[in-house]
Amino acid sequence: MHWWFWPEVELKLSSRLQRSPAGGAGKAPTLGGGFHVSLGKESRAQTLQNGRRQIHHLGNQLQLNQHCLDTAFNFFKMAVSKHLTRGRRTAHVVAACLYLVCRTEGTPHMLLDLSDLLQVNVYVLGKTFLLLARELCINAPAIDPCLYIPRFAHLLEFGEKNHEVSMTALRLLQRMKRDWMHTGRRPSGLCGAALLVAARMHDFRRTVKEVISVVKVCESTLRKRLTEFEDTPTSQLTVDEFMKIDLEEECDPPSYTAGQRKLRLKQLEQVLSKQLEAVEGEITTYQDAIEIELENSRPKAKGALASLTKDGSVEDSTSSLCGEEDTEDEELEAAASHLNKDFYQELLGGSVPGSSEAAGVPEEGRRPPALESLLGPLPTAASLGISDSIRECISSPSHEPKDACGDGELDLSGIDDLEIDRYILNEAEARVKAELWMRENAEYLREQKEKEARIAKERELGIYKEHKPKKSCKRREPIQASTAGEAIEKMLEQKKISSKINYSVLRGLDAGGGPPGEDGPPPREHGPPPGEDTGPQGEAARPPEWTSARRLSRRKTSSRRSRPDPSTSAGKRLRPLVSTQPAKKVALGEASLPSAHSLEAERVRPTVVVVESGPVSYHAEEDAEEEDAEEEDGEPCVSALQMMGGNDYGCDGDDDDGY
Amino acid sequence: MDADSDVALDILITNVVCVFRTRCHLNLRKIALEGANVIYKRDVGKVLMKLRKPRITATIWSSGKIICTGATSEEEAKFGARRLARSLQKLGFQVIFTDFKVVNVLAVCNMPFEIRLPEFTKNNRPHASYEPELHPAVCYRIKSLRATLQIFSTGSITVTGILF
Residue B23 has pLDDT above 50, yes or no: yes
Side by side, which strands form the sheet with B147-151? Answer: B38-41, B46-51, B56-61, B65-71, B11-21, B98-110, B156-161, B147-151, B138-142, B128-130
In chain A, what residues touch B144 (CB-CB under 8 Å)?
A: none
C-alpha A641/C-alpha A369 separation (Å) is 105
Residue A586 has pLDDT above 80, yes or no: no
Q: Mean pLDDT of all residues in chain A?
A: 65
Average pLDDT in the A166-186 region? 81
In chain A, what residues touch B95 (CB-CB under 8 Å)?
A: 410
Residue B52 has pLDDT above 80, yes or no: yes
Q: Is A110 helix (H, G, I), strand (E, B) or coil?
A: coil
pLDDT given at position B69? 92
Most confident of A32-41, A398-407, A442-451: A442-451
Nearest residue on chain B to A424, judged by CA atoms?
Answer: B35
pLDDT tens-place string over residues A230-283: 877 777 777 677 666 666 666 666 766 777 788 888 888 888 888 888 888 888
Which of A112, A184, A425 shows the shortest C-beta gap to B36? A425
Q: Mean pLDDT of all residues in chain B?
A: 85
Q: Is A398 helix (H, G, I), strand (E, B) or coil?
A: coil
Q: Is B71 helix (H, G, I), strand (E, B) or coil?
A: strand
When comparing pLDDT for A506 and A354, which is higher?
A506
Give the residue extent of every domain in chain A. 41-140, 144-250, 254-291
C-alpha B54/C-alpha A512 separation (Å) is 78
When comparing pLDDT for A8 and A483, which is higher?
A483
Residue A3 has pLDDT above 70, yes or no: no
Distance from CA of B154 to the nearest CA of A (A): 5
Please answer whether residues A479 and A30 qualify as being in contact, where contact means their C-beta atoms are separated by less than 8 angstroms.
Answer: yes
Give the 3-state secondary structure of B123-137. HCCCCEEECCCCCCC
Distance from CA of B151 to the nearest CA of A (A): 10
Query: Angle of helix A122-135 relative to helix A111-118, nearest 10 degrees?
Result: 120
Local confidence band at A588 (pLDDT 50, 70, 90 cut-offs): very low
Nearest residue on chain A to B154, judged by CA atoms?
Answer: A256
Mutate to test the interface with A, among B6, B33, B144, B162 (most CBs of A within 10 A): B33
C-alpha A527/C-alpha A120 separation (Å) is 37
Local confidence band at B158 (pLDDT 50, 70, 90 cut-offs): very high
Please answer whether residues A617 and A609 qualify as being in contact, where contact means their C-beta atoms are separated by less than 8 angstroms.
Answer: yes
Residue A470 has pLDDT above 50, yes or no: yes
Please answer whether residues A366 and A300 qualify as being in contact, where contact means their C-beta atoms are separated by less than 8 angstroms.
Answer: no
| Fold adopted by A144-250 | Cyclin A; domain 1 (1.10.472)
Which of A111, A133, A423 shows the shortest C-beta gap to B133? A111
Mutate to test the interface with A, among B78, B153, B159, B162 (most CBs of A within 10 A): B153
pLDDT given at position A638? 56
Distance from CA of A179 to the nearest CA of B (A): 12
Which of B33, B121, B134 shows the shortest C-beta gap to A126? B134
Alpha carbon B85 to chain centroid distance? 19
In chain A, what residues touch B32 (CB-CB under 8 Å)?
A: 433, 437
Average pLDDT in the A371-375 region? 45
Residues in chain B: 164
Residue A228 has pLDDT above 80, yes or no: yes
pLDDT tens-place string over residues B78-99: 888 888 888 888 888 888 888 8
Which of A111, A129, A410 shows the shortest C-beta gap to B95? A410
Distance from CA of B91 to the nearest CA of A (A): 7
Cα angle A592, A598, A601 (rounded to 5 degrees) comes to 145
CA distances from A164 to A150, A192, A202 (A): 11, 16, 8
CB contact under 8 A, B35 and A382: no
Distance from CA of A370 to the nearest CA of B (A): 18
pLDDT given at position A280? 84
Local confidence band at B142 (pLDDT 50, 70, 90 cut-offs): confident
Distance from CA of A191 to the nearest CA of B (A): 13
Is the ipTM higher than 0.95? The answer is: no
Intrachain domains A41-140 and A144-250 with the same fold: yes
Q: Is A538 helix (H, G, I), strand (E, B) or coil?
A: coil
C-alpha B163/C-alpha B17 separation (Å) is 11
Percent of chain A with pLDDT over 90: 2
In chain B, what residues touch A433 (CB-CB under 8 Å)?
A: 32-33
The number of helices, as runs of H, and strands, as runs of E, in chain A is 32, 0
Residue A535 has pLDDT above 50, yes or no: no
pLDDT given at position A215? 83
pLDDT given at position A314? 45
CB contact under 8 A, A420 and B34: no
Least confident of A392-396, A545-549, A638-642, B18-22: A545-549
Contacts of A18 (CB under 8 A, 6+ apart): A39, A491, A495
pLDDT given at position B106? 92
CB contact under 8 A, B153 and A382: no
Mutate to test the interface with A, among B2, B7, B87 (most CBs of A within 10 A): B87
pLDDT given at position A251? 66
CB contact under 8 A, A386 and B131: no
Please answer whether residues B79 and B18 qualify as being in contact, where contact means their C-beta atoms are separated by less than 8 angstroms.
Answer: no
In chain A, what residues touch B121 (CB-CB under 8 Å)?
A: 142
Alpha carbon A26 to chain centroid distance? 26
CATH class of the domain comprising A41-140: mainly alpha
In chain A, what residues touch B5 (CB-CB under 8 Å)?
A: 379-380
CA distances from A563 to A488, A571, B56, B59 (A): 17, 12, 77, 68
pLDDT tens-place string over residues A99-117: 888 888 888 888 888 888 8
Average pLDDT in the A29-33 region? 47
pLDDT given at position A180? 76
Mutate to test the interface with B, among A121, A398, A416, A420 (most CBs of B within 10 A): A420
The number of helices, as runs of H, and strands, as runs of E, in chain B is 3, 10
C-alpha A86/C-alpha A91 separation (Å) is 12
Residue B17 has pLDDT above 90, yes or no: yes
CB atoms within 10 A of CB A89: 13
